[in-house]
Structure 1
């Protein structure tokens, strides 16, 4: 009997490990939108709390409007977010926007007129610049920043999924 129980427990543990490793898309329990997903800061200032309520301690304050964030969990009117450094906490949903932005991860990143390294350069963006995200193709995304528009390699941006396509 003990051997059957041990085998049963081992089978349950293995099934649990395979289920946790499956690539199935998760959705938020509140919004039914995919998790994780990218959003941006709507407000110019937003408290980041240790838990999903006003009674939880404020750990820090985001002070950059349009900063891209990744939502990793939902609880009522609260969203657990991470920034590009993987640091985060809970933010009230009213401080967030569905407008997509990215952070430039390479200094003097060139924006090209077409999604091609050989295309003419439209502009160069400094490290840390926040740009509005437009269309995305495999490997490239169209950006707008400071009155300039162009295409940049997706792997030089934070705030967009590696396989994400946008029209």
Structure 2
């Protein structure tokens, strides 16, 4: 019986010793001034004109980074490949973003998803239509021609100054001026470079 009471006493002492720090902490916490509850940062409002992952404007043009880029039917490697593009620099227009995937449309109107790593912000153009277009030495229809560009030719956009209908471009080693209506790869009224 003595053994039992000592055991009970010992257990009650141990229990009170274990509870003492908790009680002290509670008391200290209760005596401290009330701190306001942490609030979660406000979630920014959805803006369809800003990319949810990149924060860049939508829509916007980019170019293919490599000679082989897959377009998938959905935003992930598990989705089937819709097209394989073999044209470095080909412009595509980003319409939406989902994590590292971009919903794009090409100059023929085909839509699909591409991984952001396969795209680059350098601005290129592709000659649209069925007929060759004239690359002029100056931004005027009366200027001397610099070259004839066939449909499908891809080149670099150097400068577009709104409200002008002309953009300074480079196709291979030849530079000159093209009308915006004769190529695909720039938004209406867009200024390039943007700065």
TM-score interval (norm. to shorter)? 0.7 to 0.9
Alpha-carbon distance, 1:88 to partner: 2.0
Corresponding residue number in structure 2 for 1:5: none
Distance in 1, matches of 2:98 and 2:48, equals 18
Runs of 4+ in 1 over 4 A off after TM superposition: none
RMSD of equivalent CA atoms: 1.4
Alignment partner for residue 52 of structure 1, among 65, 69, 75? 75
In the alignment, structure 2 segments of 5+ residues that lack a partner are: 1-46
> How many residues are matched?
144
- Please tell me whether Structure 1 or Structure 2 has the larger radius of gyration of its CA atoms: 2
Distance in 2, matches of 1:77 and 1:40, equals 16
Give CA-to-partner distance per residue, 1:133-155, whole Å, 9 cap, x none: 11112200111112100001111
Alignment partner for residue 34 of structure 1, among 42, 57, 81? 57
3-state SS in 1 of match to 2:146:
strand
Distance in 2, matches of 1:91 and 1:27, equals 18
Task: Determine if contact 1:82/1:88 at 8 Å carries over to the other structure.
Answer: yes
RCO comparison, higher one (Cα < 8 Å, 6+): 1
Distance in 2, matches of 1:148 and 1:121, equals 11
Alpha-carbon distance, 1:25 to partner: 6.9
Corresponding residue number in structure 2 for 1:9: none
Distance in 2, matches of 1:47 and 1:105, equals 22
Corresponding residue number in structure 1 for 2:153: 129
TM value normalised by structure 1: 0.82
- Over 3 Å counting, the alpha-carbon distance change for 1:155 and 1:25 in structure 2 is farther
Corresponding residue number in structure 2 for 1:145: 171
Alignment partner for residue 94 of structure 2, among 71, 76, 82? 71
